[in-house]
Amino acid sequence: MENINDLIQKAFGNASVSPTVKNQSMAYLTEFLKKPEAFNYFQPLMTTPSTDPLQLIKVNYGSMILQKKLMYNFSQIQPQVLQQINEFVFQKIFEFQKSQLIVKQLSLAIVAFTLHDQSWGNFIDTIVNKIPNTSQNAELLTSVFLEIASAAEKMDLVDSSMRAKFIQIIAQATPSVLDFVVSMNSQNSISFRLASECLSSWVKNSGVEITYYRNSQVLPFLLRQLQTQNGEAASTVLDDFLFKMMQTNKECQGQKDAILNITVLILQEFVKYVDVIQKIPYSCFFTISQLISMDAYTYIKSQYSQTLSAYLNLLVVASNVVEENTIHDVSEAAISLLETPSSKRAQESKELYEFFMPFAKAMLEKVVTLHMDCKNLEGEDLEDFLHFRETSTFYLVRKCVDTIGSTSSVNMLVYLWENVTNKEVILASLEAAYEDLSIVSSQQLINLFSYSIQLVNQNTNVPKQFIKTLIVTIGDYARYFGENFPNVIESCVTFLMKYVGAPGFGEKAAKALRNLAEESGEKIGSYQSLQQMFQNVVDTILQGKLKGNEVQFEDIIIAFCMSLGGNQGAVEQLFIKVVNVLNETSNTLTDSTINALWILETIFIGLKKSKHHNEIGMMIVNFQIPQLLHNVIQNGVQRKANKVYEKGCATLGVMYEVTRRNSSQFFGQTTSLLTQGYVLTKNGFFIFSLSKIIDALFEFDEFKQPLKEQCLPLIMEAMKNCTIDANDVIIDITDCIFGIAKTNVPDNFVESAMNWLVSFLKVADRSAYRGICDQLVDFIMQNRVNKYIEQPTVILSIMESVVSLYSKDRVDNASFVLRLIYNKNPGVFCQNMQLIFSNKYQVPDGFKQSLLPTNQKYTKEQIKKILSDLFFILKETA
């Protein structure tokens, strides 16, 4: 006992003790709780005199010892001792009723008696017999009831029969306890804080049937509190009750009618609280929407549809409260309701859309005019608001537009444009719903962009956020302007050009310009300012100022390239400066060489999307750019200038996506160069370049034979040298296999590739794993690996690739491969599965099956668990 007292003193009492000693003492005390001999110390600890400054800590520690012994080793205590302990527990509850921690531990001791002592009889009567139901004992009784219900959350360490018994006891006691708590608070015998905590705990943990609440005083009691200073606490209890009803609604179909009736009773009260929701919009007002959305069609077809309409109006009223938490709650509630039509059958969906239409229109107007407004916020406050707007409010706008319809939504926004002061909210709404609204090629929609650009042009003090949102929105809608609205394209280009390169606007404007060029192409190519901008960007990059500007410069270059037609003079102007720099530095290989290659690669990315890429490809060949790139790469390999030949390989690969059928006269030189470079360096960029080239050429008949002859040896060499951690190279080899397999490659290559793919299923990288599975699917669909996939090794490797690095994505990818294997030959598949289930199959020596040791075997049950996650045909093979 002295040792325990000493440890408690060190852990909690002696300020001069070092942190290490304190932690060691606390660790020992925690461990000591589990020892059988600890039971000998509970009584001395719990009778610590009040003169001891650590009395409460010692009594609490003794209580912990006692309740754990009673809960988990009740049968080891003699019956006569149990009776003494019973009396002792209630004595100490009275003595230390002001200590919440001690009451908590002793309440758990009462739970143990309830579970294990057959003489207890009626749970409530036994407790009330020990703690009489008087106004003086009201708080103590409520605290004990609170902790008893909370014990349901700590039942994981007792066996299932005890858990079931406790749930039954709690359910039977619920009506008496809840009525007691309501009565005691109504008589002012207990605080509402304590009452609400107790009610919440019993509501969450009790299994009492929902029908009990229909005639109980609990809900009316809580609803009345919403109009008092106790509203927040009452709302929390109602939230717990509503979540409990949602859970019951999912699990017990037979209680749906009772749940509907109770929900309507609550709604009928809620709609009376218009004044409350405008002042203090409690969370329960919004939580109930999730319950309604579970059976929304039932509500609108019932006699209570008007009550639901009144509740929707209440949500619209709540949207007047412009405060972040309330906006979030309103959005969540409205979204949960507006999402219901999309999950129903056609006729039900139609009726739900019609029912929610007025609500969606009213909500859209409120959201646009109130919730989207960033007012005069600046700095971090503005950034926080914009982030919140994009992650919460934007989604509600989309759901409103989905309900109202695109054309009607555009009409509403046009109307609101005339009636709001801060017109940025209209642009933000367009940005939020562009996937729906962009399909409306109406003059009214286009007018909103024209009005916005005019507003900027005619005013010098337009807020920066208005300009930023306009730029982003033009970028979103640019690809949908089409040929019907050339005037807006012209004004958009002129507007965007003002802000490309401007601090705070540059990247957004360049991105929008790129999107505009992607759709409108040559329509914007005639602007001299765009051509001049391209030249300025090239000059800036060649001066060594690329770093930090990559995104903006890339978008500008690509925008200009996509805007060019097939005019040879215009295309030639793209390359002049870059080619000159590469020629000048081909021997020295400076940073200018790398910058020039970056420009050239970006030019090719833009040109490959041109409608004239075939004519442009011929021009590239005539300009002798392939030979120039070959020379740069070769010099880079000879001089061991890694960055140069890596960027050269990347550029060369993208160039083939432009030259395509025009590549025959230099294709042999390219493959020879890549092979030599890879053999010398083992650098994966040579394989990356090869994958791009194969992808660009495999569909052309004239390249099928050259691809097989000149690329297969390099692919085989890359497969031999590849390691499991070389994620990018694995992806590139897989891409090479995909393309080359379309050229009718020989069977021995297919077998080698299949072996390689299966052996690399253990790769950890998500993209690499997905690529391997996609290629396995491609091989299986071609019917070229039927004999191979009939081997148990393939099935086992696929399963173990999921076991070793389990994730939902891996399950999805692997399961699709397994389904195809099953479909090819269900009989053989099932036979192989039986071999695996019965552990009769032995993996051949040297076969790389997974990250796990090759001698590790799974039990039949483990295999079944894997399969249950992997695919739907377990029943066929069990």
Query: Which is more confidently placed, 430 or 167?
Result: 430
Residue 506 binned pLDDT confidence (cut-offs 50, 70, 90): very high
b/e map 128-139, b = 16+ CB within 10 Å:
eebbeeeeebbb
Contact 355, 398 (CB under 8 A): no
Cα 606 to Cα 316, 377, 591: the distances in Å are: 48, 38, 23
d(C-alpha 411, C-alpha 197), whole Å: 50
Percent pLDDT > 90 in the chain is 60
What's the rounded mean pLDDT across residues 211-227? 93
- Per the listing, tokens 């990315």 go with 605
CA torsion through residues 472, 477, 479, 481, sign: negative
Q: Is the pLDDT of residue 873 over 60?
A: no
What pLDDT was estimated at residue 442? 81
pLDDT at 64 over 70: yes
Confidence category of residue 853, pLDDT binned at 50, 70, 90: very low
Six token digits for residue 376? 């005069």
Task: Give the range among 111-125, 365-379, 417-431, 448-462 with minimum mean pLDDT.
Answer: 111-125
* pLDDT greater than 80 at residue 837: no
pLDDT beyond 50 at 241: yes
Query: How far apart (Å, rounded) are the C-alpha atoms in residues 787 and 564?
Result: 52
- Return phi, psi of residue 33, to 5°: -55, -30
Alpha carbon distances (Å) from 397 to 328, 363, 387, 435? 13, 9, 15, 12
Cα separation, 186 vs 174, whole angstroms: 18
Cβ proximity of 448 and 414 under 8 Å: yes
Do the Cβ atoms of 214 and 248 come closer than 8 Å? Answer: no
Average pLDDT, integer, range 306-314: 96
pLDDT tens by residue, 653-675: 999 999 999 999 999 999 999 99
Nearest-CA neighbor of 862 among 831, 844, 837? 837
Look-up: residue for tokens 């306009």?
Answer: 470
pLDDT at 849 (0 to 100): 39
> Within 543-663, where are the H helices?
550-563, 568-585, 591-607, 613-622, 625-638, 642-659
Distances 674 to 324, 597, 645, 689, 731 between C-alpha atoms, Å: 58, 17, 10, 8, 18
Q: What share of the chain is helix, strand, coil (3-state, %, to 5)?
A: 80, 0, 20
* Amino acid identity at 157: L
Q: What is the pLDDT of residue 858?
A: 52
More confident call, 673 vs 533? 673
- 254 has pLDDT over 80: yes
pLDDT, residue 844, reads 40
On the question of pLDDT at 255 being above 70, the answer is yes
Residue 319 confidence (pLDDT) above 80: yes
Q: According to the model, what pLDDT value does residue 122 have?
A: 75
Distance (Å, whole) CA 644 – CA 649: 9
Per the structure block, which two tokens stand in for 261?
A: 């009736």
Four-point Cα dihedral 151, 153, 157, 163, nearest 10: 80
Q: Which residues contact 502 (CB under 8 A, 6 or more apart)?
A: 509
Write down the pLDDT at residue 661: 93
pLDDT for residue 852:
34
Of 645 and 209, the structure prediction assigns the larger pLDDT to: 645
Q: What is the dihedral of CA 112, 114, 120, 122, to 10 degrees?
A: 160
Residues 65, 66, 70, CA angle at the centre, nearest 5°? 120
Give the pLDDT of residue 346: 82
- Whose structure tokens read 């971090």? 380
Instruction: Decide: pTM greater than 0.95.
Output: no
Checking if the pLDDT of 397 tops 90, the result is yes
Top mean pLDDT of 7-16, 328-337, 478-487, 869-878 is at 328-337
The span from the CA of 696 to the CA of 691, in Å, is 9
Q: What is the pLDDT of residues 556-595, one digit of tens each?
A: 999 999 888 777 888 888 899 999 999 999 889 999 999 9
Contact between 794 and 821 (Cβ < 8 Å): yes
Judged on CB neighbours under 10 Å (0-12, 13-18, 19+), 483 is exposed
> What pLDDT does 878 receive?
41
pLDDT for 876 equals 44
Q: How far, in Å, CA of 871 to CA of 863, rounded?
A: 12
> How far is the first Cα of the chain from the last one, in angstroms, to the nearest whole number?
59
Mean pLDDT, residues 394-413 taken together:
94
Section 102-121 average pLDDT = 86
From the number of C-beta atoms within 10 Å of its C-beta (0-12, 13-18, 19+), residue 655 rates as: buried
Quick check: helix, strand or coil at residue 835?
Answer: helix
* 845 confidence band (pLDDT: 50, 70, 90): very low
Q: Of residues 85 and 832, which shows the higher confidence score?
A: 85
Average pLDDT, whole number, for the chain?
88
**What is the number of other CB atoms lying within 10 angstroms of the CB of residue 397?**
27
